[in-house]
Amino acid sequence: MDIEFNNVKELYERLKPALSAKVTDLKRKDLDYIKENDIWNYLKDTKWSKANDLLLYQMVDDILNLNEEEIDDYVKSEIRKKVIKPNLENMKWDDEYDKK
């Protein structure tokens, strides 16, 4: 039986139990900051986007056998990309501060 998906959201929902199981596994290894969407994004960007005729069982296998060090490095690098900088625009100055 071939399973077909109408869109990526349907595929994500179908893979959600495997993603959730992997997150639970990672929590036991003190990697509790890694979420389902991190695993999805990592595999989508690094493995699945390069594959042809990818089957559902292969995707589940990729999720469940994901290397913890690789996903950890990926998540940390994504966090580093999103370093928050101070917003210095549109600050309302009071005349008192300008005089000091």
**Tens digit of pLDDT for each residue in 26-83?**
999 999 999 999 999 999 999 998 988 889 999 999 999 999 999 999 999 988 887 6
C-beta of residue 72 within 8 angstroms of C-beta of residue 31? yes
Residues with Cβ < 8 Å from 52, sequence gap 6 or more? none
DSSP count for the chain of H helices, then E strands = 5, 0
Asked whether residue 45 is domain-assigned, the answer is yes
Is 20 part of a structural domain of the chain?
yes
**Residue 48 is part of which domain span?**
8-84
Q: Does some domain include residue 98?
A: no
Single-letter code of the amino acid located at 32: D
Integer Cα distance of 18 and 81 in angstroms = 27
pTM of structure: 0.78
Domain count, the chain: 1
Residues 6+ away with beta carbon under 8 Å from 42 = 66, 70, 71, 74, 75
